[in-house]
């Protein structure tokens, strides 16, 4: 037995979290600073869904995700003297406030990016206002940098995204494998589609903490914000949400199994779009929060070329019901055979920079209310009324039901209802046909059971059953559509 006595509660590993979220979008894709400000206001109005640490000032974490604010970034890069090419990416990186660690961390990330043909052109120290941070959070506050990365000409945004993904993950693994890894090293986001600002500040102060967010040049047509309530007060800046693609309200009860299965599937997941997948040791993290693991897997799915709707339906599918459209049911059953649900209460908002979506768990255990204004502002949040909008401006108010998903496409201006998403997904392939023809369904069969009774009795008398009885499956056992009584 070692001399070190493990305590019963491991505050590094044991925590749960939940929260409130909001998503705002200009459906017609118009970018504005108003939307950024309003998202911040919504965040402040969800403060009561979060919690405050014992010092009465440190929040449990909050953050905001925006579309890639290209004009703003070009201008600040210019002010910093960075030369940006036509296509570039950027993101926030946390380091321990120690020059040596910062330099090393920058070098590692730069190295991996350059191996992906991506060129780091500069690091901007992000302006912050630590006065609004509580004592507990201040002690663990990281040094926050913004990295600017140039991409080769001709690459499409999604190609850049995939290379950034691989480089970021590999850099993280290299950092972790060091004998003295930087404990605070964390890439908040690195993308050419989205930008995330987050920290351990109270919701109302996020915009004060990051003056960038109050800058009139910071514009977006999508804003996602998240207020966290954690069951510990350990100040961990990287646990604030949104993550790279999603913000999650809820808890993934089956996360142990989900992580194991996801990592074990690394061997069977192949996508020509993701050349360096096999270099990663883990597809999803084992140590962060449950939500961050879900974000990891979503990221793999998206980077591998899966569309956002199918990816979310794989991770958090609605319940298969008897009264369901058979085509949709076939789609869900088909997918359920290869990916188990990340099960538990969930309200999730995601964006890939152009489509923003929100979906709920199969049991509708988290709230999500939405509204659409006559001038095309879409809002969905844990609560209704997160920003003041005169009644005459509101066109409709709705909510998400259990297992439902809605989305807006800011490029086409299309509002995707739950049924529209389902219709598009179920029509992708001939799922029903595939299932009917190929799945073997083993049902109860009293007749066979009776016939086999004698054999069963013989074996009951402690005989070995013959291994591998070779026979074809009786046709009565073939798949047929039947009510789902077990």
Partner 1 sequence: MGDDTPVAVLSSRNRLICDYFRQSFAQVTNPPIDSLREAAVMSLETCIGREHNVFHETASHAYRVLLPWPVLNYVKYQTLLGLDQRYYRNVRFSLNYDPESLGLRRALENLAEHCVTAVQSGATIIVLSDRDISRDKVPIPAPLAVGAVHQGLLKAGERPNANIIIETGSARDPHQFAVLLGLGATAIYPYLAFQSINQQQETGALEGDPIQLRKNYRRGIRKGLLKILSKMGICTMASYRGSQLFEAVGLAPEVVDLCCPKVSSKINGAGFAEIESDIRKVSANAWVEQTRPIRDGIYRFMYGGEEHAYNPDVVMNLQQAVASNDWSDYRKFADSVDKRPTLAIRDLLALKPAAKPLPLSKVEKAEQIFPRFDTAAMSIGALSPEAHESLAVAMNRLGGRSNSGEGGEDPKRFNTERNSRIKQVASGRFGVSAHYLVNADVLQIKVAQGAKPGEGGQLPGHKVTVETPPHHDIYSIEDLSQLIFDLKMVNPRALVSVKLVAGAGVGTIAVGVAKAYADLITIAGFDGGTGASPLSSVKYAGIPWELGLAETHQALVENNLRHKIRLQVDGGLKTGLDVVKAGILGAESFGFGTGPMVALGCKYLRICHLNNCATGIATQNKTLREKHFHGLPERVMNYFGFLARDVREILASLGAHRFTDIIGRSELLEQLPGKTAKQQALDLRPILASAATRNQFEPYCTEASNPPFDQGRLNQEILAAAKDALERNEAWSGQFGIHNYGRSVGATLSGEVARLHGREGLQDGQIRLNLSGTAGQSLGCWNTPGISIHLEGDANDYVGKGMSGGRIVLTTADVHRERARRNVICGNACLYGATGGELFANGQTGERFAVRNSGAHAVIEGAGHHACEYMTGGTVVIMGPIGPNLAAGMTGGELFLLDPNGEAERYLNPEFVEASPLEEQQFDAPRRRLKALVTTHVSLTGSEWGRKVLESWELMLSHWVYVIPKNLAASNDISQQDVPLRLVKA
Site for partner 1 in 35-74 (CB under 8 A): 45, 47-56
Task: Give the nearest distance from C-beta 63 to partner 1 in angstroms.
Answer: 17
- Per DSSP, the three-state class of 293 is helix
* Binding residues among 242-271 for partner 1 as defined by CB under 8 A: 249-251, 253-254, 256-258, 260-261, 263-271
Task: Give the nearest distance from C-beta 129 to partner 1 in angstroms.
Answer: 22
Task: Give the nearest distance from C-beta 484 to partner 1 in angstroms.
Answer: 8
Question: Of these, 385, 411, 413, 458, which contacts partner 1 (CB under 8 A)?
Answer: 385
Q: How far apart are CA 242 and CA 146, in angstroms?
A: 17
Which of 91-117 are b and which e, b meaning 16 or more Cβ less than 10 Å from the residue's Cβ? bbbbbbeeeebbebbbebbbebbeebe
Does 344 bind partner 1 (CB under 8 A)? Our answer is yes
Does 153 bind partner 1 (CB under 8 A)? Our answer is no
Does 309 bind partner 1 (CB under 8 A)? Our answer is no
Residues in contact with partner 1, total (CB under 8 A)?
Answer: 133
Does 293 bind partner 1 (CB under 8 A)? Our answer is no
Region binding partner 1 by CB under 8 A among candidate stretches 112-120, 126-134, 187-195, 359-367: 359-367
Residue 9 backbone phi and psi in degrees, to 5: -105, 120
Does 131 bind partner 1 (CB under 8 A)? Our answer is no
Question: Of these, 146, 163, 339, 351, which contacts partner 1 (CB under 8 A)?
Answer: 339
Does 5 bind partner 1 (CB under 8 A)? Our answer is yes
Residue matched to tokens 């920058």: 106
Q: How far apart are CA 111 and CA 120, in angstroms?
A: 9
Q: How far apart are CA 351 and CA 68, in angstroms?
A: 11
Question: Of these, 86, 98, 99, 449, which contacts partner 1 (CB under 8 A)?
Answer: 449
Contacts of 125 (CB under 8 A, 6+ apart): 143, 144, 145, 146
* 81: exposed, middle or buried (Cβ count in 10 Å: 0-12, 13-18, 19+): exposed
Does 12 bind partner 1 (CB under 8 A)? Our answer is no
Region binding partner 1 by CB under 8 A among candidate stretches 69-77, 159-167, 210-218, 297-305: 297-305
Does 358 bind partner 1 (CB under 8 A)? Our answer is no
Catalytic positions, written as ranges: 19
Does 367 bind partner 1 (CB under 8 A)? Our answer is yes
Per-position DSSP letters for 29-48, written without gaps between them: ---BHHHHHHHHHHHHTTGG
Region binding partner 1 by CB under 8 A among candidate stretches 15-23, 88-96, 142-150, 165-173: 15-23
Task: Give the nearest distance from C-beta 157 to partner 1 in angstroms.
Answer: 20
Q: How far apart are CA 449 and CA 429, in angstroms?
A: 37
Region binding partner 1 by CB under 8 A among candidate stretches 123-131, 144-152, 162-170, 299-307: 299-307
List, as own/partner pairs, every contact residues 265-271 make where C-beta atoms lie below 8 angstroms and the sequence separation is at least 24, other chains included: 269/300, 269/304, 271/303, 271/304, 271/305
Task: Give the nearest distance from C-beta 312 to partner 1 in angstroms.
Answer: 13
Dihedral of CA atoms 435, 298, 401, 416 in degrees, nearest 10, equals: -90
Question: Of these, 37, 307, 383, 423, which contacts partner 1 (CB under 8 A)?
Answer: 383
Q: How far apart are CA 331 and CA 321, in angstroms?
A: 13
Q: How far apart are CA 484 and CA 486, in angstroms?
A: 6
Our CB check for partner 1 shows the closer of 150 and 263 to be 263
Does 75 bind partner 1 (CB under 8 A)? Our answer is no
99-115 vs 157-177: helix crossing angle, rounded to 10: 130
* Binding residues among 200-229 for partner 1 as defined by CB under 8 A: 229
Take residue 161 and report the two structure tokens written for it: 């995204």
Our CB check for partner 1 shows the closer of 96 and 335 to be 335
Question: Of these, 301, 309, 378, 416, which contacts partner 1 (CB under 8 A)?
Answer: 301
Strand blocks (E) in 51-182? 62-67, 88-95, 119-125, 143-150
Q: How far apart are CA 33 and CA 97, in angstroms?
A: 31
Q: How far apart are CA 224 and CA 222, in angstroms?
A: 7
Does 475 bind partner 1 (CB under 8 A)? Our answer is no
Task: Give the nearest distance from C-beta 31 to partner 1 in angstroms.
Answer: 26
Per-position DSSP letters for 249-279, written without gaps between them: EE--TTHHHHHHHHHHGGGT---TT-TTGGG
Does 100 bind partner 1 (CB under 8 A)? Our answer is no
Region binding partner 1 by CB under 8 A among candidate stretches 124-132, 157-165, 189-197, 397-405: 397-405
Does 365 bind partner 1 (CB under 8 A)? Our answer is yes
Contact 18, 102 (CB under 8 A): no
Does 483 bind partner 1 (CB under 8 A)? Our answer is no
Does 314 bind partner 1 (CB under 8 A)? Our answer is yes
């Amino acid at each position: 037995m070692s001399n070190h006595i493990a305590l019963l509660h491991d505050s590094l590993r044991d925590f749960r979290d939940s929260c409130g979220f909001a998503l705002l979008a200009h459906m017609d894709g118009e970018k504005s600073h108003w939307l950024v400000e309003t998202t911040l206001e919504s965040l402040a109005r969800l403060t009561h869904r979060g919690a405050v640490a014992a010092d009465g000032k440190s929040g449990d974490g909050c953050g905001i995700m925006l579309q890639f604010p290209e004009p703003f970034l070009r201008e600040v890069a210019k002010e910093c003297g960075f030369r940006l090419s036509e296509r570039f990416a950027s993101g926030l990186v946390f380091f321990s406030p120690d020059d040596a660690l910062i330099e090393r961390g920058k070098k590692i990330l730069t190295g991996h990016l350059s191996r992906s043909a991506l060129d780091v052109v500069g690091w901007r120290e992000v302006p912050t206002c630590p006065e609004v941070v509580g004592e507990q959070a201040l002690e663990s506050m990281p040094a926050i940098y913004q990295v600017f990365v140039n991409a080769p000409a001709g690459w499409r945004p999604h190609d850049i995204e995939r290379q950034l993904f691989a480089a970021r993950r590999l850099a993280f693994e290299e950092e972790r494998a060091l004998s003295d890894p930087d404990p605070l090293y964390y890439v908040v986001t690195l993308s050419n589609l989205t930008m995330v600002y987050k920290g351990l500040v109270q919701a109302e102060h996020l915009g004060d903490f990051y003056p960038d967010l109050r800058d009139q040049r910071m514009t977006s047509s999508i804003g996602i914000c998240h207020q966290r309530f954690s069951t510990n007060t350990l100040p961990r800046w990287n646990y604030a949400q949104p993550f790279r693609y999603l913000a999650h309200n809820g808890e993934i009860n089956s996360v142990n199994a989900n992580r194991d299965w996801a990592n074990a599937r690394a061997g069977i997941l192949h996508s020509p779009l993701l050349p360096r997948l096999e270099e990663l040791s883990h597809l999803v993290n084992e140590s962060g929060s449950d939500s961050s693991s879900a974000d990891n897997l979503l990221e793999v799915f998206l980077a591998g070329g899966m569309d956002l709707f199918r990816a979310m339906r794989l991770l958090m599918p609605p319940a298969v019901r008897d009264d369901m459209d058979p085509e949709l049911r076939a789609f869900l059953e088909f997918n359920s055979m290869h990916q188990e649900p990340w099960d538990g209460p969930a309200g999730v908002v995601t964006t890939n920079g152009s489509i923003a979506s929100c979906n709920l768990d199969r049991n509708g255990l988290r709230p999500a209310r939405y509204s659409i204004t006559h001038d095309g502002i879409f809002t969905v949040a844990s609560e209704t009324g997160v920003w003041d909008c005169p009644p005459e401006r509101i066109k409709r108010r709705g909510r998400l039901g259990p297992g439902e998903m809605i989305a807006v496409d800011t490029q086409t201006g299309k509002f995707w209802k739950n049924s529209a998403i389902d219709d598009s997904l179920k029509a992708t392939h001939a799922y029903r046909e595939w299932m009917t023809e190929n799945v073997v369904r083993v049902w109860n069969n009293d007749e066979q059971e009776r016939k086999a009774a004698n054999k069963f009795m013989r074996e009951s008398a402690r005989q070995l059953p013959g291994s591998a009885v070779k026979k074809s499956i009786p046709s009565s056992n073939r798949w047929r559509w039947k009510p789902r009584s077990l």
